[in-house]
Structure 1
Amino acid sequence: MDLDLGQVRAFVTVAGHLHFGRAAEELSISQQAVSKRVARLESALGVLLFTRGNVELTEAGRRFLEPAREALRAAEAAAGAVHAAGRPLRIDVWGHLYGPARTVAPVIDELPGLSVELGMSRDLPAAAASLLRGDIDAAFGRVHPPLPDGLAHRLVRLEPVDVLAGDGHPLAGASSVRPSDLTGHDLWFPAAVDRLDFIRRFCDEFGVRAASGGANLGVEHLLADLLAEPGRITLFPADAPLPGVPGIRAIPVVDPTPLYAWSLVWPRQSPHPMIPALLRGFAEYGRRHRWLEYDPARDWLPGDPAPTS
């Protein structure tokens, strides 16, 4: 039988959320339209895919889910082969100390046929300027206002951060720390604080003293600074790999846990034809790995955690 891919995509999105309203938000259509698409797919297949009321997959829905995802991936790869032939998706990343490419890479790996050129931008303003000039098709890093008109973005990951400290630091023996425990300590980062929106907001919120300067020469250089100046600490993504430098401790931050927000940015006008597939890839991978978990009673974010703008 011929499957309507719009109906299949509605089914897969509802299956990811187990909620018709949230699926509608992701697809940027009405909840009624999502319900109609799923109902028409069920009619064509001759089975119910979801229980109604408390939305759960039926046995038939569970069997259909992975083949449905494969069908969408194949369709996206086919479209990409036609429309993006000879022009890879050009993505710049920024925030290099925090390893943005490690979040982009597994998503791209799950998109067969997607050709990508990965580059680097100095910061958000540089990436935004490149997008508006058409030099790149998308950019990935931490987005904070103001974002220039003409660009869209979607939040794709919220990552907890740890405190890094040398063995000689008074906090080095702690199993965890609260942000309030950091008051009076020097939070070090190798760049001017006025360029570091996340660090600046964290320090303002919790009364931590910001200390910064010098050049960003990579993670090993940052860790060497912490060892050379035992009074210094820094914040670092909890899931980012650290080089094997003896004497460095990674300490979880709790009550609340600060979250570093990663977003994809792209031009609103004439986006690369593979942008929708990339966004769906982030959404699917993020659901499986719980990338967008946020509890305001437990976590801290400098600003609105809404996924789109």
Structure 2
Amino acid sequence: MDLDLAQVRAFVLAAEESHFGRAAEALSISQQALSKRIARLEAGLGTALFRRTGHGVEPTGAGDRFLEPARRALAAADRAVAAALDERRPPRVDVWGHLYAPMRTLAQVAAGSGAPPLELGHGRDLPSVAAALLRGDIDAAFGRVHPPLPAGLTHRLVRLEPVDAVLSADHPLADEPALRPGQLRDSVLWTPAALHRLDFLHRFAERFGIRHHAEGTNLGLDGFLADVAADPRRFSLMPADVPLPDDPGIRSVPLVEPTPLYAWSLLWCGGNPRVDALLGALAAEAGRSRWLEYDPAEDWLPEPAGEPA
């Protein structure tokens, strides 16, 4: 059958909202009109896509299987329309993350020759950013990618960034010229959110036997570092070249043997030509700034280094 994209869009929104009324509101149509679109889609496919629940609807098994390919079909259709209209807007790029400030990298790239203009946004986490990519709301995203990723998305490694330990000035190890990660085993890892939500810090704690951790609210870099400084047992991790505030209560100490590396990637839906110029600019800056140097005998990554840009 030939899919009617209006029907497919109605299905996708209803699946994401778990409610026909909210999906109809998002499409600026009546709930009756949305129900008719979905009924026609189900009739064409010969199977039910939703079941009623006490509070709304949820996809059936067929609906679950149809959802991701349907999202990709809509994203491809939106890209086709944009290409036909020769839309010249800059690529929309999401930068997600907490304290690791991905815009530092993109700012350095944007300052170089040949870099395209960009429109930046701020997603909450990798799943929400991936969903925005599949819907076509954004063209690309920049952050730390870790599996599993939804089908239809492509990512390319663009930077490996060394990470330092940031400690309270009263920490027993604060005056060391360098630290091995295992020396922090008895310290308290301080995080700006629940540890299980911060994949890199979670894996670091598991790999190097960090037994204690505590968490606070992410109120920005200054507040986070003030929380580190407040307890002589605390430490956290920050990219080595992040300019820290002039605060006598904190120390930044390099980590060695091995040096943890934070892997930045660009993530996009395959076949989006808007991403090509940005990939080229990232690759050029990676070559100039030696962003992709990695020695497995001296460095640590939570996952394989992957394919560079």
Q: Tell me whether the two structures share a fold, i.e. TM-score over 0.5.
A: yes
Q: Distance in 1 between matches of 2:242 and 2:87?
A: 32
Contact 1:128 1:148 in 2 (8 A): yes
- Residue 219 (structure 1) aligned to one of 215, 218, 221: 221
Q: Mark the CA change 1:157 to 1:208 in structure 2 (over 3 Å): closer, same or farther.
A: same
Contact 1:108 1:278 in 2 (8 A): no
- Mapped to 1, the partners of 2:115 and 2:193 lie a distance apart of 38
SS, match of residue 202 in structure 1: helix
Compared CA separation, residues 124 and 113, structure 1 to 2 (3 A) = closer
Question: Which residue in 1 is equivalent to 2:147?
Answer: 145
| Alpha carbons 1:163, 1:233 under 8 Å: kept | yes
CA distance in 2, matches of 1:286, 1:112: 14
Residue 170 (structure 2) pairs with residue 197 (structure 1): no
Q: Which position in structure 2 is the counterpart of 1:300?
A: 300
Alignment of 1:163-178 (within 5 A): 163-178=165-180
Q: Per-residue CA shift, 1:17-72, capped at 9, x if unaligned?
A: xxxxxxxxxxxxxxxxxxxxxxxxxxxxxxxxxxxxxxxxxxxxxxxxxxxxxxxx
Normalising to structure 1: TM-score of the pair?
A: 0.70
Q: Shift of the alpha carbon at 1:88? A: 1.9
Q: Which residue of 2 aligns with 1:257?
A: 259
Q: What amino acid maps onto 2:91 in structure 1?
A: L
**Matched length:** 226
The alpha-carbon deviation at position 114 of structure 1 amounts to 2.5
Q: Structure 1: which 4+ aligned runs deviate by more than 4 Å?
A: none
- Judge conservation of contact 2:186–2:212 (CA < 8 Å) in 1: no
In 1, Cα distance between equivalents of 2:164 and 2:197:
20
Matches within 5 A, 1:238-277: 238-268=240-270, 270-271=271-272, 273-277=273-277
- TM-score (norm: length of structure 2): 0.70
Where do 5+ consecutive residues of structure 1 fail to align? 1-79
1:245-298 residue CA offsets vs partner (Å, 9 max, x unmatched): 222110000000000000000111x41x33111111111110110000000000
Aligned-residue CA RMSD (Å) = 1.9
Map Cα deviations across residues 72-101 of structure 1 (whole Å, 9 max, x no partner): xxxxxxxx9x9452x221011011311100
Q: Which residue of 1 aligns with 2:285?
A: 285
- Contact 1:153/1:308 (8 A) holds in 2: no
Q: In 1, distance between residues paired with 2:245 and 2:233?
A: 21
Distance 1:114 1:297 in 2: 36
